[in-house]
Amino acid sequence: MNIDQADPDVLAALRAAFGVVDGGESALGWDAVHAFEAQHGIVLPEPYRTFVAEISDGSFSGPPEYGLVPLAELPDGWGGDGQARDLSKPFPLTESWLWEEDPRPSEEIDLLLGQVGGHGSVVLGTDGCGMNWHLIVSGPHRGHIWFITGEGATPFGAEFGFTTAGAGFAGWVGHWAADKPWFDDE
């Protein structure tokens, strides 16, 4: 997974997966991507960065179930937790976490929950019912995809278990394009 340089073959696969044939008209453009990055104090990981700049900023076709939301938006029904999102703060997790089974005091869990939903990630979209896919944009898991639900959070990619998919945005999209279940290695 290369999060610093966009591979032309990967970008071609992303175009094909989403069926983008509009010559980039649905893309955000580099000026808007640079402005978003400056506003939030981040650099988006590749190939997602080039995808939104040159290919498409969101898509009604999946992934996920309800489509890919545009970069600066959140899925319909996003409730958040009332805390401000700060993309420049590191995403706080490096391994799966089921908060319903966490023995720590509820105050600690609530604080961490706010960070999981609000720090270091852009929301790619939703599978409904509070099941959201996030691209991590800062912290040790930068470039990885995480599945965050009302019960817990799980990193996506074969290296973490539960799936045979490659890591990162390209692996996530490729797995969806191959019509595989998200968690096909359980």
Give 118-162 pLDDT, tens digit per residue. 899 999 998 888 889 999 999 999 999 999 988 899 999 999 998
pLDDT for 57: 93
Helix, strand, or coil (residue 15): helix
Contact 96, 153 (CB under 8 A): yes
Angle between helices 8-18 and 168-177 (to 10 degrees): 40
- Residue 186 binned pLDDT confidence (cut-offs 50, 70, 90): low
Residue 185 domain flag: no
| pLDDT exceeds cutoff 80 at 67 | yes
| pLDDT exceeds cutoff 70 at 35 | yes
Contact 176, 169 (CB under 8 A): no
- Model confidence over 70-107: pLDDT tens digits? 998 887 766 555 457 899 999 999 999 998 889 999 89
Residue 67 domain flag: yes
List the domain range (segments joined by +) for residue 104: 8-177
Q: Which residue has the higher pLDDT, 185 or 151?
A: 151
- The domain tally of the chain equals 1
| pLDDT exceeds cutoff 90 at 173 | yes
pLDDT for 20: 73
Residue 2 domain flag: no
Residues 33 and 52: their CA atoms lie apart, in Å, by 8
State the pTM of this model.
0.92
Residue 183 domain flag: no
Residue 108 CB coordination number (10 Å): 10
Sheet strand arrangement including 97-98 = 97-98, 152-156, 145-148, 132-136, 121-126
Query: Where do we find the tokens 């960065």?
Result: 49
- Write b or e for each residue in 80-99: b if 16 or more Cβ atoms lie within 10 A of its Cβ, otherwise e: eeeeebebeebbbbeeebeb
- CA nearest neighbour of 154 among 95, 68, 92, 87: 95
Residue 184 domain flag: no
- Model confidence over 5-34: pLDDT tens digits? 999 999 999 999 988 767 778 899 999 999
| pLDDT exceeds cutoff 90 at 51 | yes
Residue 132 domain flag: yes
